[in-house]
């Protein structure tokens, strides 16, 4: 082979020609295949149009409305720039509502995420299938009741003198703790939050139950053989393998806490003295009662910004933990 190469380089072989390199030719798509691919793109274009029109356009339009003062009855529009956002910084009710939404989110994370996780772990640790099914039904029943009905139920529970809560406190000798729970500025919002936790606790527990059921039982059997107790199994097996569900529940809980509306409207309407206002109810009052749609749109922009920041932060943290794992 080496000799042959030397002969070719010296030109000793007459008529010998250097081999040609094969140049790949670009394959042309047949017109029928090209048309098929273009037709397949129509579904992508349709999806982009739908998402853009029903998701992103309202967000942009809401911001544009927030830079105006609009009268929904006469149709008059006055451009005011960022004045509505300056009003937000000076509005004490907005600060109260923002704190109430934040307290709602923190307490919901405590009870509807971590509390629900612990309850689901305890129930799934029961050996009896009958008892597991029984407790699943018990804690899920409140979630099947509508928010309006639940609000009216707790409205009667919180009634002074005749309500179940005051009767229980009196029976236990704590009558000095009895008060007008929904009429006291210091307790109204927390009474509403307690009602919301009672209703949403079962649904969160059910989601954690589904996540725990997907964990292979062999891991728990091996841990028990190694001498690991229930708490060690919970911390080293259950919690790490339900991390994604926990992250998703935190995002959903925070988003729902800043969108809360029905509970407050049914029980207090934002009172007394605006002490239980949340961003959703204050937005409603400004837009549809005070006829100030521009200011209401500015409040809606704040709700959108807060929920987006919270969701983005949680997604980033979850993704970072997944990469490290």
pTM: 0.81
Is 162 within a domain? no
Is 271 within a domain? yes
- The predicted-structure confidence for 270-322, as pLDDT tens digits, reads as follows 999 999 999 999 999 999 999 899 999 999 999 999 888 887 887 787 777 66
CATH code at position 212: 1.10.3720.10
How far apart CA 139 and CA 141 sit, in angstroms, is 6
How far apart CA 90 and CA 83 sit, in angstroms, is 11
- Please report the pLDDT score of residue 316 as a whole number: 83
What is the average per-residue pLDDT within 59-82?
90
Total tally of structural domains belonging to the chain: 1
Q: Which residues contact 159 (CB under 8 A, 6 or more apart)?
A: 166
> Per-residue pLDDT for 10 more than 60?
no
Mean pLDDT, the chain, rounded, equals 85
- Please report the pLDDT score of residue 20 as a whole number: 54
Is 263 within a domain? yes
How far apart CA 90 and CA 301 sit, in angstroms, is 16
Is 32 within a domain? no
Is 157 within a domain? no
- State phi, psi for 257 to the nearest 5 degrees: -65, -35
> Per-residue pLDDT for 133 more than 50?
yes
Model confidence band, residue 74 (pLDDT cutoffs 50, 70, 90) = confident
Find the domain containing 245 and state its range: 83-127+201-324
- Please report the pLDDT score of residue 42 as a whole number: 82
Is 91 within a domain? yes
Is 253 within a domain? yes
> Per-residue pLDDT for 2 more than 70?
no
> Per-residue pLDDT for 173 more than 60?
yes
Of 271, 262, 108, whose CA–CA distance to 181 is shortest? 271
Is 94 within a domain? yes
- Strand pairing of 68-70 and 77-79? antiparallel
């Amino acid at each position: 082979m080496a000799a042959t190469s030397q002969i070719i380089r010296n030109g000793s072989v007459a008529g010998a020609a250097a081999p040609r390199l094969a140049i790949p030719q670009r394959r042309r798509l047949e017109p029928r295949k090209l048309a098929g691919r273009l037709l397949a793109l129509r579904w992508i274009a349709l999806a982009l149009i739908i998402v853009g029109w029903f998701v992103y356009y309202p967000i942009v339009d809401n911001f544009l409305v927030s830079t105006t003062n609009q009268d929904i009855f006469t149709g008059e529009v006055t451009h005011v720039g960022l004045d509505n956002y300056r009003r937000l910084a000076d509005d004490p009710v907005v600060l109260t509502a923002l704190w109430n939404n934040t307290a709602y989110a923190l307490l919901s994370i405590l009870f509807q995420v971590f509390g629900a996780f612990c309850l689901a772990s305890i129930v799934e640790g029961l050996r009896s299938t009958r008892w597991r099914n029984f407790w699943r039904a018990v804690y899920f029943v409140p979630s099947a009741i509508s928010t309006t009905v639940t609000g009216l139920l707790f409205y009667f529970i919180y009634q002074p003198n005749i309500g179940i809560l005051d009767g229980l406190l009196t029976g236990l000798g704590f009558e000095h703790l009895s008060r007008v729970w929904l009429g006291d500025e210091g307790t109204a919002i927390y009474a509403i939050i307690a009602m919301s936790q009672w209703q949403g606790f079962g649904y969160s527990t059910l989601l954690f139950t589904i996540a725990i059921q997907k964990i292979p039982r062999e891991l728990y059997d091996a841990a028990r053989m190694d001498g690991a107790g229930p708490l060690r199994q919970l911390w080293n097996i259950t919690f790490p393998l339900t991390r994604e569900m926990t992250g998703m529940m935190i995002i959903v809980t925070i988003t729902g806490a800043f969108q809360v509306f029905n509970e407050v409207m049914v029980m207090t309407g934002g009172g007394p003295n605006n002490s239980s206002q949340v961003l959703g109810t204050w937005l409603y009052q400004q837009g549809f009662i005070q006829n100030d749609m521009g200011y209401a749109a500015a409040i809606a922009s704040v709700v959108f910004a807060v929920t987006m920041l919270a969701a983005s932060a949680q997604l980033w943290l979850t993704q970072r933990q997944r990469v490290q794992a």
